[in-house]
Structure 1
């Protein structure tokens, strides 16, 4: 074999030297390595420019912004590692060839692998790639469509003032639905890929079924709470800051999520209520509230005059510079609500802003008490009337006083067989003085009525005691008479 150009150019160097290695192919190996690095650098620059232009074009449209972000994330991997791997494999094979190594097995292996990969990609691989690509597309669509649909639905049911609150609730629900949709898509794609790879999914599905039953029994209350929380947020039954009654507990809603609602009652106690325990939710401050008052007056009062006074009080508080801003409609008498045991009750109603009804009702009670006192309209308290029976004389205080006075002069019973017994001195009558009013003042007050009733009870007890004493004296007299005979 003749000398090569490099061998002649380098002056026929001796075997075993570096120059001989260069002449035998070392120089070509170095040139191949440098060419691979330069080729990688040039292709990398070209690919990065093309990818950046593609990302800019995708970012200009909202519908393809997510795709642009994905391409930008893959930029470094594609332009650096993938291209470097291709040029590196080509450079290694070229260097081995020029150095006199047999690279035919590697070439054959690459040909077989490429042929097998091509055949696989043409059949199963293409389907798997399509499955993964469609899963990615559906996931991107779900992440963009679900939040928009939730926002449009919930904003259509809410007022303008609740815009920020509705957006927060829609974001919460959107994250839940997006997570569920993405999980379902990924699981479906996994099973489809396993099917394409000829992996039996029957045992896998059976295992998932058994695990699902076990988790279902263990987490049934959690699932119930989550489902109830989704409906509470979606239907806007109540929100943070509302005063509600749920699960028999009333309080201010401090926080709410998919699993539980936190209430703080008037005593400052915090109640954590699982959403699954809520069957009826009573919201006292949604959009507007209502002033609801029951006012009782005495039966003797003029009904029309009372209605007129109460309506005037409602108009006055509606004209107040402070309380009037809280009211939507002035509180007015709705009707004569009931005829109770001790009072005639009127119902007053008026609409107001949320959570202002308690402050307004407190002020109205104050004004009603002051005004009714000024008008001389009696606000009654419970009392009872004593019924003495048919054909009984009327109840007169002076008669009761005389009866009480007479009960303090007990009659004496002298023995008939002993007339010489010295008569006892007549006791001095005890005068009963009423504590309320004078004897001439016969006006009946509740205090005097109670006092006279107590005096009657004492007189009755005294009569029973006197009768018992007389019976004992009579029995003693009969016994003494029988003994003397």
Structure 2
């Protein structure tokens, strides 16, 4: 009130509220009842014998009243009846209220709902303009005392000059400290010793700014006690100035934190010095003109001159400032857009997306900010500025903290967890799997951080009541559901990671000397791991659907019916699965085996529950269903063997040929590499075949699996060399040419020709 003197705590109130990012002023001011209400006696109970309603009747009455108040039409009708009852003369009979029937809001169409909403808010907006017009035109006039006004202005100017001078001096004295802090933080940042040094110096400088502001306010309060000439009105005006000074200088401290025009080393962003000076100066002027105009000039003019003049001054000041702000925005639109794009190019990919999006709409957001401030200031100059300043500071704090958390999470996402060599050797896929889960969890946390920032921004501008939504609204259920879903996913991920790691540990060789598992074991474990992945995924999906409210009973029943229908049409698939299971249990083939299936010979590369994949030596890859395999040959089951037959000319001596063959085999067995492939001793069968042109000698070998071809090729090379050295000839191909002639009877005669030498 004009006749009160604001104490020191009232002066510091706004500063502390902004430092703590507290609520607006209306949440901390005490609410007092009018004296007439506090002195009114308690109502007496009626003398009639009306019975006390029971609990069910009370509940029904409460429900009916809630339905009436929830509907716009019924609520307005009830308000009209209450106003008519209050305006009725006291001599008339007691007014009777007829509770209006609550209409069903769900019967309205979308167009009707939009029309009602626009009519309600449009009416409220028009009512504010009417109220402003009434204030300017029809407000009561009050006499203007020139001497009193000049005296108040002199004392006001004396306090303002002294406070600004003191504040400027203490900031000038702290300038060397700021320079040293910036230089030390930048040096540590360049040396990469610790990335926290520079941010701590930037925040430290901001804290020093706030302490200097608190000191200036303390001194300003003392000066106000001595410069008010004992006049309570002057003291009140000086109190308005101190409150405005605290609010505006705190906002300027935020601007110095962002732009830091005089100490580039303490600037947290890459902004050129001229741009930093440009925007810090203009935004400081804007905040000063708005703050001192709405919080000081308008109230003083309204109090000392006239309410109409104060309202006109408010409209003129805010109109000029809004026009200047819009000119600044659109004059620098393209330059700021280029700078934001350049900042996005230097930023991480996650932040670059938001920065580029902001660069496209920043001028519209800034224009909406100043236009909203202009409209609010016309209806409620003081509270509108306090609300906008508070919401702005809280928004900057929310965005800064959210960006810091998101940046830390993004850096952690790009890092890799390194397990010990023993763990990597025992569990080959564990490190890759753990890093994948951690990266996914951090990305989810970053997404939740962005979502939380958006909700907090809406709450800061009072567009959304976050606390009520979390405690009383649907937010409580959403958070509870989110926690349960994350818990289920966490347990599923941990269970799959542990089981899969155990299987992979069994598939890998043991560092303590345990041999590699057999091919059959590897195949079965691989199939079991795939089946386990399908089982865990199915169970997790079913539980998640149940948690979010989906009734999975019809889904399970439908899956059973669908499975029955599919089973009739998938007999071949069932046959494939059953045949494959029996082949695996009989250890018929494993990955890496050389097999012949039908007319296909190749290496087994993949085995699933339905088919086997075979790669031929030509590179062709065949997928063969299990059910189509009737017989197959496996070349790697225990041993390998081959029988070598050599044909020589019939006129060679058989004993000499057998002796030469034995010498070739003996030389072959002296090769240690070949001898390691042979099991036992070769078996000589001697002469095993005779024709009119040649005879055949035979030798048999038993080898390691898949080594028979290597031994056979080496044996052929040795036999050829020894046969050539001994002069043993292979059989010649003979050609019989038949000549025809006429005998005495005229028949054709045949005369054999000698074979070529």
TM-score norm. by structure 2 comes to 0.36
Matched with 1:328 is 677
109-118 or 252-261, which moves further after superposition? 109-118
Consecutive unaligned residues of structure 2, counting only runs of 5 or more, are 4-235, 241-293, 303-309, 319-376, 420-430, 732-750
Does structure 2 conserve the Cα–Cα contact (< 8 Å) formed by 1:314 and 1:331? no
- Could you tell me which of 590, 601, 607 is aligned with 1:251? 601
Q: Verify the 8 A CA contact 1:311 1:332 in the aligned structure 2.
A: no
Partner residue of 1:176 out of 501, 522, 530: 530
Instruction: Count how many residue pairs are aligned between Structure 1 and Structure 2.
Output: 362
Cα distance, 1:327–1:66 mapped onto 2, change above 3 Å: closer
CA deviation string 1:218-263 (max 9, x = no partner): 44434655787799899793446x54212x2242338545344245
What does residue 14 of structure 1 align with?
Answer: 311
Residue 453 of structure 2 is matched in structure 1 by 83
Whole-angstrom CA distance in 2 between matches of 1:36 and 1:236 = 71
| Aligned pairs (5 A) from 1:31-110 | 31-45=389-403, 47-48=405-406, 51=409, 59=417, 65-92=435-462
- Distance (whole Å) between structure 1 residues aligned to residue 580 and residue 573 of structure 2: 10
The reply on whether 1:145 has 2:433 as its aligned counterpart is no
**CA separation in 2, counterparts of 1:79 and 1:271?**
50
- 1:285-319 deviations in Å (ceiling 9; x for gaps): 5797333346899xxx9999997665433212334
Cα 1:219–1:276 change in 2 (3 A) is same
Cα separation, partners in 2 of 1:233 and 1:156, compared to 1, 3 Å: farther
Work out the CA distance in 2 between the residues paired with 1:229 and 1:155: 24
Match of 1:426 in 2: none
> Is the contact between residue 253 and residue 263 of structure 1 (CA under 8 Å) also seen in structure 2?
yes
- After superposition, the C-alpha distances for 1:351-410 in whole angstroms (9 at most, x for unaligned) are 26735527726854982897599699999xxxxxxxxxxxxxxxxxxxxxxxxxxxxxxx
CA contact (8 A) 2:594 2:636 kept: yes
Matching residue of 2:137: none
SS in 1 for 2:311: coil
CA contact (8 A) 2:546 2:552 kept: no
Q: Match of 2:387? A: 29
- Which structure has the bigger radius of gyration? 1
Alignment CA distance shift 1:82-1:347 (3 Å): same
Render the CA deviation track for 1:327-368: whole Å, top value 9, x for unaligned: 623884447699999999866224267355277268549828
Aligned residue in 1 for 2:666: 315
Name stretches of at least 5 consecutive residues in structure 1 with no aligned partner. 94-105, 380-433, 438-485
Contact 2:640 2:703 in 1 (8 A): yes
Residue in 2 aligned with 1:103?
none
Distance, in Å, in 2 between the alignment partners of 1:232 and 1:136 is 37
**2:489 counterpart residue number:** 136
Q: Provide the residue aligned with 1:261 in structure 2.
A: 613
Distance 1:14 1:376 in 2: 129
Query: Structure 1 residue 38: deviation in Å?
Result: 1.9
Alignment check: 8 A CA contact 1:147 1:170 kept: no
Cα deviation for residue 73 of structure 1 reads: 1.0
Question: Hey, what's the Cα distance between the residues in 2 that align with 1:41 and 1:82?
Answer: 10
Partners of 1:291 and 1:331 within 8 A in 2 = no
Deviation at 1:215, TM superposition (A): 3.2
Write the mapping of 1:453-464 to structure 2, written as runs, cut at 5 A: none
Higher helix share: 2
Is the Cα contact below 8 Å between 2:640 and 2:707 reproduced in 1?
A: yes
Contact kept, 8 Å, 2:503 with 2:529, in 1: the verdict is no
Q: Deviations over 1:429-456 (max 9, x none)?
A: xxxxx9999xxxxxxxxxxxxxxxxxxx
Structure 1 contact 7–23 (Cα < 8 Å) conserved: yes
Deviations 1:448-477 (A, max 9, x none): xxxxxxxxxxxxxxxxxxxxxxxxxxxxxx
Within-5 A mapping of 1:395-406: none
SS of 2:601's equivalent in the other structure is: strand
The aligned runs of 1:69-468 (5 Å cut-off) are 69-92=439-462, 111=468, 114-115=471-472, 117=474, 120=477, 126=480, 128=481, 131-156=484-509, 176-177=530-531, 179-193=533-547, 197=549, 199-222=550-573, 225=576, 237-239=589-591, 243-246=594-597, 248-253=598-603, 256=606, 258=608, 259-264=611-616, 272-278=623-629, 280-285=631-636, 289-293=640-644, 310-319=661-670, 325=674, 328-329=677-678, 332-334=681-683, 348-351=700-703, 354=706, 356-357=708-709, 360=712, 363-364=715-716, 367=719
Q: Distance in 2 between matches of 1:255 and 1:312?
A: 41
Q: Say if 1:435 and 1:341 are closer, same or farther in 2 by CA, change over 3 A.
A: closer
Moved more, 75-84 or 328-337: 328-337
Q: Aligned with 1:282: secondary structure?
A: strand
Cα 1:377–1:36 change in 2 (3 A) is closer
